[in-house]
Amino acid sequence: MNLGNPLVNISIFGAFVAVTMVIVLRASRDNRTAADYYAAGRSFSGPQNGTAIAGDYLSAASFLGIAGAIAIYGYDGFLYSIGFLVAWLVALLLVAELLRNTGKFTMADVLSFRLRQRPVRMAAALATLAVCFFYLLAQMAGAGGLVALLLGITAPAGQYVVVAVVGVLMIVYVLVGGMKGTTWVQIVKAVLLIAGAGAMTVWVLATYGFNVSSLMQAAIDTAAAQGVEDPEGLIEPMNQYGATALTKLNFLSLALALVLGTAGLPHVLMRFYTVPDAKQARRSVVWAIWLIGLFYLFTLVLGYGAGALVGPEAIRAAPGGVNSAAPLLAYELGGTLLLGFIAAVAFATILAVVAGLAITAAASFAHDVYASVVKDGSPDPGAEVKVARRTVVVIGAVAILGGMFAVGQNVAFLVALAFAVAASANLPTLVYSLFWRRFTTRGALWSIYGGLGSCLLLIALSPVVSGKVDPVTGLSLSLVKDTGVDFALFPLENPGIVSIPLAFLLGWVGTMTSRPEPDHEAKADEMEVRALTGAGAEGAVDH
Amino acid sequence: MTADHRPPAGAHRPPAGAHRPPGFDEVRDSAEFVALRRSFRRVVFPTTAGFLAWYALYVLLAAYAPDLMGTRLGGSTITIGLLMGLGQFVTTFAITMAYRRWADRRFDARAEALREQITGGAR
């Protein structure tokens, strides 16, 4: 099946790239200091940054994946989006303002504020790089999958080319535009994505007389007509997750990682440094919550709309499977042109997200590892930004190669893994260092390495890596394609339910078994006062 | 949106030799700061506990009481689970608005007063 016109899809995407490239070039003029390059001179307003956060956070997985999951599994897809939204309250209440007041560029700034600089920075940078790497790989593989669906390219060579194009564009955006350019790309993308999804939502609702109950009834009817077993299951929970006690536990584990992971995602945290003060950081999150919440309400309508107008079996049969629900719905509603728009927006989404990840990883390497650990806090003037730019190129190359390797592999678990690492390695240490005065260096190191290590180990020993076999086809559903290899000792696909409590516990035990640093009292006083009052916080750069 | 609204550095600094700005240790022990920290924590800790508990309840009901969540209301396809899910959106939006209102009205001015004590008007 070949949908729409690849030429239209590519032209609209090309227009997006051209417009954002002009904006990025204009934005690059003021990139002089580290604060310009990493934090856009801290000159974005709360509403601008909130829109960029939505652009950074709403990945292709959440747009195509959630709409598709709702179309095929119904209610369970909706459960996903609730975790993604509620999580923002953690960022709003506990993290955003305090982080903005005590840090400069990275999460490690806050974690190492009153602990021993080098070991804590190193640990925090490793956790940051791990999250960015997993997330980046998932996005790149997603780009490869998307071309199969939208451009009709299924040959691996064609998908490699697309992965390389996405990687090169990402390098150019971040290298030239820095944080300012990246932010504008995210803002433009967020506006297009939310406007496009909003227009389709109104269209679907209008088709059913603005009656949600009739829309859902139509989804059930279409599913029944296409021979889906238990079409009523579309409006009941546990259609997807509810097979066994184990799959339910898996779902709980995912729900926990989603709600606690968001406020520990390094590329989200870094966005709070692009505004002039804590009040604007607060406004950013308020805007982000409204936009993200609105968007997830749209996906609910789009998911059931795709179920009703296209039907679950037709979606499953399309190239791209679950992910094709939103594009198929766009084609059903508005033909070639709307499909072209949605396809371009999906690519723009991947581009904006990978750019945000690349600048976060580069900042963490240059600021935390190079400037603070290698050069002991006093790098040569200008050297740090130079290192950051080189890191961007390296990260781009790694992302392209990794993306080529991951295309066609079953890497959907990588996003869940990134959230699990963020919730286990980053969030506990962040909360402890902001709210627990006694917290020590050992507590931080045990918590970060314990959370990171347990996540990686449990994933390696889980069914996503080996031993999961499709009962019908007999084919492997794991990363290791040989069905004879099975070292899945840990039964869950999401490590969060074990690794998150473990990281909190390790932070506590590590702290209770060690002494605070010699200058603990003074540093703790300073951090506490600065976090709440904003005294001494990094201000905006004047040009 | 830049730092234009802030007074220039040193605008409100008292004449030389009048008062040394208090150190972080003194501010931390001051009655104003202790009160500010208490009211901040009194707002964010119970709210966090509340929305996490409400989210946990929702997730646990979806996993272990799917029949209850799948109960239809009247003759429609609207279920209890859908309403509870939409309820999560409503509470998230409500908490966001309430917190912003509280912070703008009750928190910012007090934090700013302390900040000015420390920095002598500058930042």
- What SS3 string covers A383-439? HHHHHHHHHHHHHHHHHHHHHHHHCCCCCCHHHHHHHHHHHHHHHHHHHHHHHCCCC
Contact of B84 with chain A, judged by CB distance below 8 Å, is answered with no
Query: Residue A476 forms beta bridges with which residues?
Result: A469
Q: Residue A215: closest CA among chain B residues belongs to which residue? A: B77
Contact between B62 and A238 using a beta-carbon 8 Å cutoff: yes
Q: Residue A295: closest CA among chain B residues belongs to which residue? A: B89
Q: How far A484 CA sits from the closest chain B CA (Å)?
A: 32
Nearest Cα to A305, choosing from A190, A202, A196?
A202
CB A35 within 8 A of CB A538: yes
Contact between B2 and A43 using a beta-carbon 8 Å cutoff: yes
Q: How far B18 CA sits from the closest chain A CA (Å)?
A: 21
Q: Residue A243: closest CA among chain B residues belongs to which residue? A: B63
The confidence score (pLDDT) of residue A410 equals 67
Alpha-carbon separation of residue A474 from A396, A460, A477 (angstroms): 37, 22, 9
Backbone torsion region of residue B32, taken as left when φ is above 0, otherwise alpha when ψ lies between -120 and 50, otherwise beta: alpha
Contact of B119 with chain A, judged by CB distance below 8 Å, is answered with yes
Nearest Cα to A114, choosing from A437, A534, A364, A496?
A437
Contact of B14 with chain A, judged by CB distance below 8 Å, is answered with no
Backbone torsion region of residue A230, taken as left when φ is above 0, otherwise alpha when ψ lies between -120 and 50, otherwise beta: left
Mutate which: A236, A294, A527, vs B, most B CBs within 10 A: A236
Q: Residue B30: closest CA among chain A residues belongs to which residue? A: A529
User: CA-CA distance, A22 to A181, in Å (whole number)?
Assistant: 10
Q: What is the pLDDT of residues B51-102, one digit of tens each?
A: 999 999 999 999 999 889 989 988 888 999 999 999 999 999 999 999 999 9
CB A113 within 8 A of CB A527: yes
Which tokens sit at B103? Answer: 């912070």
Mutate which: B59, B79, B80, vs A, most A CBs within 10 A: B59
Contact between A93 and B55 using a beta-carbon 8 Å cutoff: no
Q: How far B87 CA sits from the closest chain A CA (Å)?
A: 10
User: CA-CA distance, B73 to B97, in Å (whole number)?
Assistant: 30
- Residues from chain B that touch A534, judged by Cβ atoms under 8 A, are 111-112, 115, 123
Sign of CA dihedral B66, B71, B77, B82: negative
Contact of B123 with chain A, judged by CB distance below 8 Å, is answered with yes
The confidence score (pLDDT) of residue A247 equals 86
User: CA-CA distance, A406 to A166, in Å (whole number)?
Assistant: 14
- What is the SS3 assignment for A368? helix
Contact between B63 and A521 using a beta-carbon 8 Å cutoff: no
Indicate the residue of A82, A93, A242 with minimum beta-carbon distance to B85. A82
CB B114 within 8 A of CB B33: yes
pLDDT one digit per residue (tens) for chain A, 543 residues:
456 778 888 888 889 899 989 988 988 887 778 888 899 989 999 999 999 999 999 987 778 888 998 999 888 888 889 999 999 999 999 999 999 999 999 999 999 999 999 999 999 999 999 999 999 988 888 877 777 777 777 777 888 888 898 899 999 999 999 999 999 999 999 999 999 999 999 999 999 999 999 999 999 999 999 888 888 888 888 777 767 888 889 889 999 999 999 999 999 999 999 999 999 999 999 999 999 999 999 999 999 999 999 999 998 888 777 888 999 999 999 988 998 898 888 888 889 999 999 999 999 999 999 999 999 888 888 888 999 999 999 999 999 998 888 877 766 678 888 999 999 999 999 999 999 999 999 999 999 999 999 999 999 999 888 888 877 777 787 888 788 888 889 999 899 999 999 999 999 999 999 999 889 999 999 999 999 999 988 888 876
Q: How far B29 CA sits from the closest chain A CA (Å)?
A: 9
The confidence score (pLDDT) of residue A432 equals 96
- Residues from chain A that touch B1, judged by Cβ atoms under 8 A, are 43-46, 48, 275-276, 280
- What is the SS3 assignment for A18? helix
Contact of B5 with chain A, judged by CB distance below 8 Å, is answered with no
Q: Quick one: which H or E segment has residue A450?
A: helix A441-460
Q: Residue B67: closest CA among chain A residues belongs to which residue? A: A236
Give buried/exposed letters for A456-487 (b at 16+ CB in 10 A, else e): bebbbbbbbbbbbeeeeeeebebbbeebeebe
Q: Quick one: which H or E segment has residue A49?
A: helix A46-57
The confidence score (pLDDT) of residue A170 equals 92
Count other C-beta atoms under 10 Å from residue A368's C-beta: 29
Indicate the residue of A89, A252, A525 with minimum beta-carbon distance to B92. A89
- Residues from chain B that touch A285, judged by Cβ atoms under 8 A, are 96
User: CA-CA distance, A72 to B18, in Å (whole number)?
Assistant: 72
User: CA-CA distance, B89 to A81, in Å (whole number)?
Assistant: 10
Mutate which: A70, A73, A79, A529, vs B, most B CBs within 10 A: A529
The residues, ordered by sequence, that sit 6+ positions from B109 with a Cβ below 8 Å of its Cβ are none
- What is the SS3 assignment for A529? helix
The confidence score (pLDDT) of residue A504 equals 98
Contact between B92 and A289 using a beta-carbon 8 Å cutoff: yes
Indicate the residue of A236, A276, A526 with minimum beta-carbon distance to B66. A236
Give buried/exposed letters for A206-237 (b at 16+ CB in 10 A, else e): ebbeeebbbbbbbbbebbeebebeebebbbbb
- Residues from chain A that touch B76, judged by Cβ atoms under 8 A, are 213
Contact of B64 with chain A, judged by CB distance below 8 Å, is answered with yes
Q: How far B90 CA sits from the closest chain A CA (Å)?
A: 9
User: CA-CA distance, A246 to A190, in Å (whole number)?
Assistant: 37
- DSSP for A82-137, written as a single string: HHHHHHHHHIIIIIHHHHHHH-SSSHHHHHTSSS-HHHHHHHHHHHHHHHHHHHHH
- Amino acid making up residue B44: V
Contact of B55 with chain A, judged by CB distance below 8 Å, is answered with yes
Indicate the residue of A235, A251, A529 with minimum beta-carbon distance to B79. A235
Count other C-beta atoms under 10 Å from residue B49's C-beta: 10
Indicate the residue of A285, A296, A532 with minimum beta-carbon distance to B37. A532
Helix A278-309 × helix A75-90 angle, to 10°: 180
Indicate the residue of A85, A237, A526 with minimum beta-carbon distance to B62. A237
Contact of B62 with chain A, judged by CB distance below 8 Å, is answered with yes
User: CA-CA distance, A294 to A192, in Å (whole number)?
Assistant: 14
User: CA-CA distance, A330 to A478, in Å (whole number)?
Assistant: 32
- DSSP for chain B, written as a single string: --GGGSPPTTTTPPPTTS-PPPPHHHHHHSHHHHHHHHHHHHHHHHHHHHHHHHHHHHHHHHHH-HHHHTPBPTTSS-BHHHHHHHHHHHHHHHHHHHHHHHIIIIIHHHHHHHHHHHHTT--
User: CA-CA distance, A153 to A314, in Å (whole number)?
Assistant: 19
The confidence score (pLDDT) of residue B13 equals 45
Average pLDDT, chain B: 84
Nearest Cα to A522, choosing from B114, B21, B26, B20?
B26
CB A260 within 8 A of CB A499: no
Q: What spatial distance separates the first Cα and last Cα of chain A, rounded to whole Å?
A: 54
The confidence score (pLDDT) of residue A141 equals 81
